Structure 1
Amino acid sequence: MATSRLLRTSAAVLAATALLISGCSSGSSSPDGQASPGRGTAAGAQRPAENASLAPLPAATPAALRPYYDQKLSWHPCGVAGFECATMKAPLDYAKPSADTDLKLAVARRKATGPGSKIGSLQVNPGGPGASAIDYLQQYAPQPAAVRARYDMVAMDPRGVGRSEPVECLTGKQMDRYTQTDVTPDSPAEVNKLTSAYRSFAKGCAARAGQLLRHVSTIEAARDMDVLRAVLGDKKITFVGASYGTFLGATNAGLYPSRVGRMVLDGAMNPEIDSRTINLNQAAGFDTAFRAFAADCIKHEDCPLGTKSVDDAGRRLSALFKKLDAHPVATGEERKLTESLATTGVVAAMYDQRAWPILREYLAQAEAGNGRGLLTLSDSYYERDPNGAYANQMYANPAVNCLDLASAFTSPAQVRAALPSFRKASPVFGENFAWAALNCAYWPVKPAGTTQHIEAKGAAPILVVGTTRDPATPYIWAKALASQLSSATLLTYEGDGHTAYGRGSTCIDKTINDYLLHGTVPPKGKHCK
């Protein structure tokens, strides 16, 4: 059972498997204690017709924050050869900075290798919220070589994530039980079991994370990015954010528009929409991705969903889920493949079309009573290792999401009322997405953020990238963000999968590289295939 849908690069989802053919929400308490720059929405309501714009912070750094901006990092070799690591201090609460409560944020870099003169530092974030930027950098920094040659590649695990004061909630065994909870309840007893699981998860987070849960918002993480920019010695930030990382980047641009250098936002989020709309849009996005998978699958004689039609394939997948709901199948280990784990496994494969061939194989195995393959996909999504330990992403993810925005729903009754709209958005996944959106209703910390319009007036040109059949960050979000940011240009990839940069399109890669290396902005309306 996904705590909420993750927004991260396909490589981050699939890296834990052998699939690669060889890989929500607005700000928190207002900056500097000022009045909140956005306007909230009632839980479960449609987004407002208008949102207040995110107000930029004063250009001058407040005296109380100067020690953070003036700090010097002590770098040392770490991890993969060629990388250096350091620890950066950041205030737990920007409104009340105190050395007694400072956070220690982990930073890693790989220096520019040349040839050519160094342009500066390039910060990267792969999304989540909750994905480790450091892990991502160390795994994928070798590409693209032309960009790596001219930039120091830099990653910081956001507060509450990875190596940066990670949020913890459950033990591995507890998380195993949580991920197997039925998210499509068929009776009052199953609804009670689901809400009990949400309450237990939230209680575990409150017990283990404490005050940190109040200070892991997107706005605070975006402010940490500006501190890092200054500490690295860059007058302006250069940033590549993927998936949820686009929201981090857009928020940073909104707070500090005059400090934007070159910014790529790939697989963009829309900061104007509320939690319910986010989940509804994602349900539709994964439905679009599934239909693309099904259209490919039915061309193969061995398609486990038949060869009749896309709609029939959807019905057959739903039938498989129902069969697993009644009778989970063996996986070769203590855990069985439940409906919830199978659904998560299929969702994971929707992030990247390169996973489609093996998804066909794993679906056929599940139909035959072997759930090992889909369990492997589900474990990759949850970042569960073979020893039963989970990375903290599944804890940091709701911690950020539930702080950033009000819960999509506040009660099971609200979910039931919304089920028709979710089923319409996705006959296969809609019900799952609707019930999964209830998790923040039981969160121990009240939401502090709101929906908001981000213009970043005065910022240098920003490149927003959208993929037409992106499941996790639907293309409509990229168009919406590009229309909000005053200096944005939209680059479109006509294709499948989540995000576009570095995923095989020469057109996309060259356009983004030219922008990062030379500042060349593509013509308006440019499309790549």
Structure 2
Amino acid sequence: MRAPALHLAAGSLLLTALAGVTAPPAGGAEAAPGASELHGTTVAATRAEAAGIDFGACAEGQDLPGRMQCGTVTVPLDYAQPNGKQIELTVSRVPATRKDPRNSKRKVPRQGALVYNPGGPGATGMYFPLIGMLPEWKRIAAAYDLVGYAPRGVGRSAPLSCQDPKQFSKAPSQSPTYPSPAYKKERIAQAKAYARGCAKRSGGALKHYHSLNNARDLDVLRAALGEKKLTFMGASYGTYFGALYATLFPTHVRRMVFDGPVNPAPEQIWYRNNLDQSAAFEGRWEDLREWIAKHDDVYGLGETPEDVLRSFEKARTRLAAEPAGGKVGPGQLQDAFLMAGYYDDYWPGRAQALSAYLKGDPKPLIDIAGPQAEAAAEEENSGAVYTAVECNDGPWPTDFRVWDRDNTRLAWKAPFETWDNVWLNLPCAYWPVPRQEPLDVRTGPGELPPTLILAAERDAATPYRGALELRGRLSGSVLVTEEDSGTHGIAGGPNACVNGHVDAYLLEGRLPLRRADAACDAHPEPKPGAPRSGGHASAGSRGLGAPAPLTGRGTAPDVNKSA
């Protein structure tokens, strides 16, 4: 359905608008790379602007408390063929409240739509608009329509699948820190089978699920929302295709926030970024063990990080011999503690579960680490999109000997996550469709409005070097660093300093003084004992729509954790 306000005039409006669209460049050697897709984006955006989005009640499972509305926007599967096959992306919205939370008698002016993406690849942003009910977001929710969406392939947006969800979550599973040649051979076979499954279940459409098309989809969504210029917040992977958008469509940008940035350098996409990520998680694992050791009087897992590591390995050994509840093995334990590498809100719960298990009570560990059958279909879909996007986005080594050499070296100094990261991404070595050439993200002085970059200094999922790289590539951007912190995604979290910079930028267009980089002290460490429910409600939080790490191992990617 289309927006009623444009129903009568849509036909003539569309024809008039398309008459002014520049024809695509001639084909052959003279056509600039991506010229056909750029023309296709213009055509699709013009259509979307005429049609709008017919917002109404959300589908079952998405109609949560608040005023959230849902609709769809139509985009081409292939932007080089804008009149070819079309797909629908689902969109959610909570209109601006216009209520000043600091003065109930004052109405604030609406500033348009704030579009958000939580990362992944493979995460949905459909629940993002509900964040306006939280205190940290009320000022932004007053001024902006909060808009989330499910990117192509995710949820109801032309969903991708690579295997039967019933086969996705296999538990218990092993997770050897130093895999044997036999285990490597087994995982190679599984990666090949998974890649074949992606091609079989998706057909010729598979090659069109990549970051460049995600950036193009974002421009069509902008137009469908009636926005002449885009206000966007991307977390984690959302920063990467947000940066692509800034490079492709700089004149369409109003304001952009990049929270927990991916390193956008073309040579990093994606093989080298994953190596850097594995190395960074080792440091974050050390942070967690230091914190647990500091609270040995609560958890009894050891007085030093080395003692805590021995307790963890003791649990792995026990679980390998006898899985907890028949479904939590070393693989599930690893996944649970990997999440603590993303968010320190998880530290108390993980430490308590490990402590209880070693003292004879497996229930807390089963509760946090056990697979959930009801989530299998969503997790399989998320994993399929993750794999398709990362494999399609750029070149990967096609010889396992390269992976084996690089990761064997890395695992000696960073054993915590290195090999699990290999198994997650190994289908890309055997990917059956052509790859994209990564775009050189870069804007010159005056080409792009000033943008805001947020990063935690010890973020493992997107190491801090990526924030520095992005700042250097987007002219006029300013970086706000949360020092000595490793939480992944810091906007709207517990750090008032960070939130102050976000509010000033989004509400007033104001960047730190003299547009120089700024620093914020770390937010307080979590207190031992019961974990805070729901985390800290950061925009990058898994609780806002980004899927929790995939607990399924076996033939599927292990953990949806690129960003």
Q: Which TM class, normalised by the smaller chain length?
A: 0.7 to 0.9
- The partner residue of 1:97 within 62, 69, 82 is 82
- The partner residue of 1:85 within 53, 61, 70 is 70
Matched, 1:505 2:495: yes
Q: Which moved more, 1:257-266 or 1:193-202?
A: 193-202
Matched, 1:194 2:195: no
Kept after mapping to 2: 8 A contact 1:242/1:266: yes
- The partner residue of 1:75 within 55, 66, 83 is 55
Question: Aligned-pair distance for 1:125?
Answer: 0.7
Identity %: 32
Corresponding residue for 2:93? 109
Corresponding residue for 1:261? 254
Q: Which moved more, 1:200-209 or 1:369-378?
A: 369-378
Matched, 1:337 2:337: no
Residues 354-404 of structure 1: CA deviation (Å, up to 9, x unaligned): 111111112224435665544544468xxx454754432122111111111
- Residues 1:84 and 1:492: Cα distance change in structure 2 (over 3 Å): same
Q: Structure 2: state its 5+ residue gaps.
A: 1-24, 99-106, 522-563
Kept after mapping to 1: 8 A contact 2:177/2:416: no
Corresponding residue for 2:355? 364
- Which structure has more relative contact order (CA 8 Å, sep 6+)? It is 1
Aligned residue identity for 1:186 = P
- The partner residue of 1:429 within 417, 422, 431 is 417
Structure 2 distance, partners of 1:271, 1:291, is 27
Corresponding residue for 2:453? 464
Matched, 1:298 2:263: no
Aligned residue identity for 1:330 = A
Corresponding residue for 2:14? none
Corresponding residue for 2:215? 222
Q: Map 1:122-161; keep pairs closer than 5 Å.
A: 122-138=114-130, 142=134, 143-161=136-154
- The partner residue of 1:205 within 176, 184, 198 is 198
Residues 394-431 of structure 1: CA deviation (Å, up to 9, x unaligned): 22111111111223x43432232123432255232233
Aligned residue identity for 1:125 = N
Question: Aligned-pair distance for 1:251?
Answer: 1.0
- The partner residue of 2:464 within 468, 475, 482 is 475
Residues 270-323 of structure 1: CA deviation (Å, up to 9, x unaligned): 111133321121112211211111111101225768434324434553454355
Corresponding residue for 2:403? 415
Aligned residue identity for 1:470 = D
Structure 2 distance, partners of 1:430, 1:323, is 22
Q: Map 1:227-376; keep pairs closer than 5 Å.
A: 227-272=220-265, 273-302=268-297, 306-318=301-313, 320-322=315-317, 324=319, 326-331=320-325, 335-368=326-359, 372-376=363-367
- Residues 1:442 and 1:319: Cα distance change in structure 2 (over 3 Å): farther
Runs of 4 or more, structure 1, over 6 Å off, are: 55-61
Kept after mapping to 1: 8 A contact 2:343/2:486: yes
Corresponding residue for 2:437? 449
Q: Which moved more, 1:294-303 or 1:461-470?
A: 294-303
Question: Aligned-pair distance for 1:220?
Answer: 0.6
* Secondary structure of the structure 2 residue equivalent to 1:123: strand
Structure 1 distance, partners of 2:305, 2:407, is 22
Question: Aligned-pair distance for 1:32?
Answer: 11
* Secondary structure of the structure 2 residue equivalent to 1:466: strand
Give the TM-score normalised by structure 1.
0.82
Kept after mapping to 2: 8 A contact 1:183/1:435: no
Aligned residue identity for 1:489 = V
Residues 124-150 of structure 1: CA deviation (Å, up to 9, x unaligned): 111111111113334566450000001
Structure 2 distance, partners of 1:180, 1:445, is 30
- Residues 1:420 and 1:171: Cα distance change in structure 2 (over 3 Å): closer
Aligned residue identity for 2:159 = P
Question: Aligned-pair distance for 1:240?
Answer: 0.9
Structure 1 distance, partners of 2:249, 2:288, is 41
Matched, 1:440 2:428: yes
Question: Aligned-pair distance for 1:82?
Answer: 0.7
Q: Which has the larger radius of gyration?
A: 2
Aligned residue identity for 2:51 = Q
Question: Aligned-pair distance for 1:65?
Answer: 5.9
Question: Aligned-pair distance for 1:443?
Answer: 2.6
Residues 33-87 of structure 1: CA deviation (Å, up to 9, x unaligned): 96557xxxxxxxxxxxxxxxxx999799745763344322212122134111111
Residues 110-167 of structure 1: CA deviation (Å, up to 9, x unaligned): 1011121101111011111111111333456645000000111111211111221111
Aligned residue identity for 1:207 = K
Structure 2 distance, partners of 1:373, 1:198, is 32
Kept after mapping to 1: 8 A contact 2:216/2:245: yes
Kept after mapping to 1: 8 A contact 2:75/2:88: yes
Corresponding residue for 1:486? 475
* Secondary structure of the structure 2 residue equivalent to 1:521: coil
Corresponding residue for 1:12? none
Question: Aligned-pair distance for 1:235?
Answer: 1.4
Q: Which moved more, 1:56-65 or 1:360-369?
A: 56-65
Aligned residue identity for 2:348 = P
* Secondary structure of the structure 2 residue equivalent to 1:88: strand
Superposition RMSD in Å? 3.0
Aligned pairs, number = 474
Question: Aligned-pair distance for 1:519?
Answer: 0.3
Structure 1 distance, partners of 2:86, 2:478, is 38
Give the TM-score normalised by structure 2.
0.77
* Secondary structure of the structure 2 residue equivalent to 1:498: coil
- Residues 1:289 and 1:137: Cα distance change in structure 2 (over 3 Å): farther
Kept after mapping to 2: 8 A contact 1:180/1:338: yes
Structure 2 distance, partners of 1:66, 1:319, is 60
Kept after mapping to 1: 8 A contact 2:233/2:256: yes
Aligned residue identity for 1:211 = G
- Residues 1:84 and 1:313: Cα distance change in structure 2 (over 3 Å): same
Kept after mapping to 2: 8 A contact 1:329/1:369: no
- Residues 1:509 and 1:452: Cα distance change in structure 2 (over 3 Å): same
* Secondary structure of the structure 1 residue equivalent to 2:146: strand
Structure 1 distance, partners of 2:427, 2:177, is 13
- Residues 1:437 and 1:159: Cα distance change in structure 2 (over 3 Å): closer
Question: Aligned-pair distance for 1:105?
Answer: 0.8
Question: Aligned-pair distance for 1:225?
Answer: 0.8
